[in-house]
Amino acid sequence: MKTTEIKSDLFWTGVVDWNLRDFHGYSTEKGSTYNAYIIRAAKTVLFDTVKKGFTSEFLDNIRLIIDPESIDYIVVNHAEMDHSGALPEIMEIVKPEKVFCTAPGKKALEAHFGVCDWPFEIIKDSDTVDLGGKTVRFIGTAMLHWPESMASFIPEDNILISNDIFGQHWATSERFDDEVDQGELFMQAAKYYANIFLPTSGAAKKLLAKLDDLGINPDMLLVDHGLIWRSKVDEIIAAYKRWSSGETNPAAIIIYDTMWESTLKMARAIAREIAGDGVSVKLYDLRYNHRSDIMTDILEAKAVILGSPVLGKTVLPKMAAMLSYMKALRPFDKIGAAFGSYGWSDTSVKHLTEALEEIKFEIIDPGVSAQYVPDQDDLSKCKNFGKRIKEEILKRC
């Protein structure tokens, strides 16, 4: 993979991981990139490295631009292993004068690699480093999404090297946002936010406000994964403002698992009553859909409806896994309700409702259940249940 000159003396020198299919339980069906950047000035600086196993390719890319031993500084914006895994090998070759990171970043790197003799230079929010012709201004981004995270602003180029923020897990030979399909781009950006940044939405909202306060309106966002933003910067920042504020659309996501199709029949009856009059609905059968794709649609939906039959007085395993994943990501400002079928112990609706309450969803209906196979009376109850959900969605959107 060739390197890319982004602006004069500023280069992309990352690697493309075409085969990545899972990232901490998040399905990465399109692979990913591990982006790193080099600035050549009086002092030459490398921003982040790549995942372990890609070091050789990474060094080959660097050598297309500069002798690695000519790099003066390394900036570690993020210590997670997909960006720092190659760092010990790079340190042996580069032998930089300084490694810039936050205090928590130093702690993380020492813990990861068992080192204490690297030339760490601890930086704080708003610290600057003069490279001779270019400047790096460091912006603290703690908990976006690790405590040591930071971003690097280059005022001379009006570029923000943004770390994981604004990224996408998407392997492409293209480097810029305007070189790829826009629908796919924003879908992958939404999936990335929903499955990584959703639980730290408060911190994301603060950072966006901070950039506004500082008057930083970058021409480009150099992300750590996926496509560099140069044409749609305003659009992705606007999307992050919506997502971090919890703005929603008049939509319901129905997530269910089913044993002998009874819960499936209930889900379809509920969905038919919700759909229409400006309200959209999506059904996700957990036997066929991945949790991270479901979370992508939950991100902007107003209502989340859960359904499961009873298994051992609780819910089916795939639903239990979905609940665990959703609890960790903490979607907010949603309404919710539950439904399900049972044989002799009517407990799944109670279990699902309690899970929604734990995530702090507003419960809008006590739920509906059916014994064995839903009859016409049960399906009528499902229709009324769907109507109530639709009414509540329209009230709030």
Phi, psi (rounded to 5 degrees) for 53: 105, -15
Q: Is 112 a catalytic residue?
A: no
Domain endpoint, select from 187, 219, 245: 245
Written as one letter, the residue type at 328 is: A
Same domain, 266 and 237: no
CA proximity to 256, closest of 337, 189, 193? 337
Q: Is 192 a catalytic residue?
A: yes
**Cβ neighbours for 99, distance < 8 A, ≥ 6 positions apart:** 73, 74, 75, 76, 91, 109, 118, 119, 120, 121
- Active-site residue identified among 17, 48, 82, 392: 82
Residue 1's pLDDT is 59
Longest CA pairwise span in the chain (Å): 78
Conformation bin of residue 179: beta by default, left when phi > 0, alpha when psi is -120 to 50 = alpha
Same domain, 358 and 283: yes
Q: pLDDT tens digit string along 121-146? A: 999 999 999 999 999 999 999 999 88
Same domain, 162 and 219: yes
- Active-site residue identified among 17, 148, 164, 378: 164
322: pLDDT strictly greater than 70: yes
Q: Is 80 a catalytic residue?
A: yes
Q: Is 83 a catalytic residue?
A: no
Residue 397, in any domain of the structure: no
CATH code for position 19: 3.60.15.10
Same domain, 214 and 324: no
| pTM, 2 dp | 0.96
Same domain, 68 and 210: yes
Q: How many CB atoms lie within 10 A of CB 369?
A: 23
Q: Is 145 a catalytic residue?
A: yes
- Active-site residue identified among 37, 225, 240, 297: 225
- Active-site residue identified among 48, 78, 157, 224: 78
**Cβ neighbours for 130, distance < 8 A, ≥ 6 positions apart:** none
Q: Is 325 a catalytic residue?
A: no
- Active-site residue identified among 17, 48, 80, 392: 80
Q: Is 164 a catalytic residue?
A: yes
Q: Is 225 a catalytic residue?
A: yes
Q: pLDDT tens digit string along 240-286? A: 999 999 999 999 999 999 999 999 999 999 999 999 999 999 999 99
Instruction: Answer yes or no: are the C-beta atoms of 352 and 316 closer than 8 Å.
Output: no
Domain endpoint, select from 196, 228, 245: 245
